[in-house]
């Protein structure tokens, strides 16, 4: 199996290292000091499950790699529309694109069935710009339950979790998903093939849609948001509204607001990825987390007053980061 990791940051390099040590033909596409370190020393993984180093090919030129079986996208979702030059040299007609993104994916209604089948979500695929680069029929959904960070260039610190749930948008049990699952599990990761990955998407989104924008607006950690009674109440309401939207689309996420909050409290003084991006002057990945759910609420007639208010305020914050991100 030949796999290209496009955007081999903390999660991407971790997946690539795991696949590489299991014998897959892995190619990491990255840049800067991180790329230089991986070329020279391989990917070093520091993990409570045991440290290891994987020596796999790393480059900044996907043309060096050529066609692959799977493209694993480690990019932020707001980079997808512009990723064509990185992805196109890697594709054949049968190449899958495994998007390890948070939030609502651009392929959400591909193969969905029902009245919304094939509908484009403007918030995540504006004008069809993402679908033009990443055809929905290539998509293999992926929900990441692992936490990693770059401790140094070429060094990934694995914090917790090894689960990468995958699945086809049309809910079929495909050969490509089964093969990828086998390769991921051979590398020491959990990789269940879910019959309907959309339920996993909503479970993960419950935390991202609430904690991520609130943390950026307040600069608070997970523990601080859970401990502050009024803020916790806002988060509970956002989660409840999100579950209502999911149910309006026929999904039944098997998790309660109380259980999701308890899991967040256990994380402790962790800064969300959105807060980290804000502190670094990077664009905020809020459209797929928040604006998309408000758009889906409008489509289904589901009241989401708190989500709508937080979306408006955080959108203003996101617009304010744009000049720094472009500099």
Q: Residue written as tokens 């209604």?
A: 109
76 is catalytic: no
Helix axes 257-267, 229-248, angle to 10 degrees: 130
Residues composing the chain: 327
* Residue 133 in tokens: 């680069």
Which is the catalytic residue, given 76, 204, 280, 282? 204
The rounded distance, in Å, linking the Cα atoms of 191 and 68 is: 20
According to the 3-state scheme, what is the secondary structure of the chain?
CEEEEECCCHHHHHHHHHHHHCCCEEEEECCHHHHHHHHHHCEEEECCCCCEEECCEEECCHHHCCCCCEEEECCCHHHHHHCHHHHHHHCCCCCEEEECCCCCCCCCCCCCCCCCCCCCCCCCCHHHHHHHHCCHHHEEEEEECCEEEEEECCEEEEEECCEEEEECCCCCCCHHHHHHHHHHHHCCCECCECCCCHHHHHHHHHHHHHHHHHHHHHCCCHHHHHHCHHHHHHHHHHHHHHHHHHHHCCCCCCCCHHHHHHHHHHHCCCCCHHHHHHHCCCCCCCHHHHHHHHHHHHHHCCCCHHHHHHHHHHHHHHHHHHHHHHC
**Strand order through the sheet with 43-46:** 52-54, 43-46, 155-160, 147-152
Q: Catalytic site residues?
A: 204
């Amino acid at each position: 199996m030949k796999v290209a990791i496009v955007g081999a940051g903390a999660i991407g390099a971790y997946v690539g290292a795991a696949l590489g040590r299991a014998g897959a033909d892995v190619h990491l596409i990255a840049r800067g000091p991180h790329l230089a370190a991986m070329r020279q020393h391989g990917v070093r993984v520091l993990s409570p499950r045991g440290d290891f180093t994987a020596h796999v090919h790393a480059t900044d030129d996907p043309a060096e790699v050529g066609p692959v079986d799977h493209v694993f996208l480690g990019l932020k979702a707001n980079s997808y529309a512009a990723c064509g030059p990185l992805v196109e040299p890697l594709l054949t007609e049968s190449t899958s694109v495994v998007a390890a993104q948070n939030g609502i994916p651009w392929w959400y209604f591909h193969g969905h069935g029902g009245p919304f089948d094939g509908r484009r979500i403007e918030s995540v695929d504006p004008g069809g710009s993402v679908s033009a680069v990443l055809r929905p029929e290539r998509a293999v959904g992926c929900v990441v339950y692992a936490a990693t960070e770059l401790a140094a260039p070429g060094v990934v610190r694995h914090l917790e979790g090894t689960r990468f749930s995958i699945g086809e948008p049309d809910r079929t049990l495909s050969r490509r998903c089964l093969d990828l699952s086998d390769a991921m599990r051979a590398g020491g990761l959990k990789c269940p093939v879910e019959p309907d990955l959309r339920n996993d998407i909503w479970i993960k989104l419950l935390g991202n849609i609430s904690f991520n924008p609130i943390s950026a607006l307040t600069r608070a950690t997970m523990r601080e948001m859970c401990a502050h009674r009024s803020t916790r109440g806002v988060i509970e309401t956002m989660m409840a509204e999100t579950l209502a939207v999911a149910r309006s689309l026929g999904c039944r996420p098997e998790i309660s607001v109380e259980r999701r909050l308890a899991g967040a409290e256990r994380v402790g003084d962790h800064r969300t990825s959105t807060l980290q991006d804000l502190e670094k002057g990077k664009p905020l990945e809020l459209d797929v987390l928040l604006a998309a759910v408000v758009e889906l609420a409008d489509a289904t007639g589901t009241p989401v007053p708190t989500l709508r208010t937080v979306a408006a305020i955080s959108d203003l914050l996101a617009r304010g980061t744009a000049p720094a991100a472009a500099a």
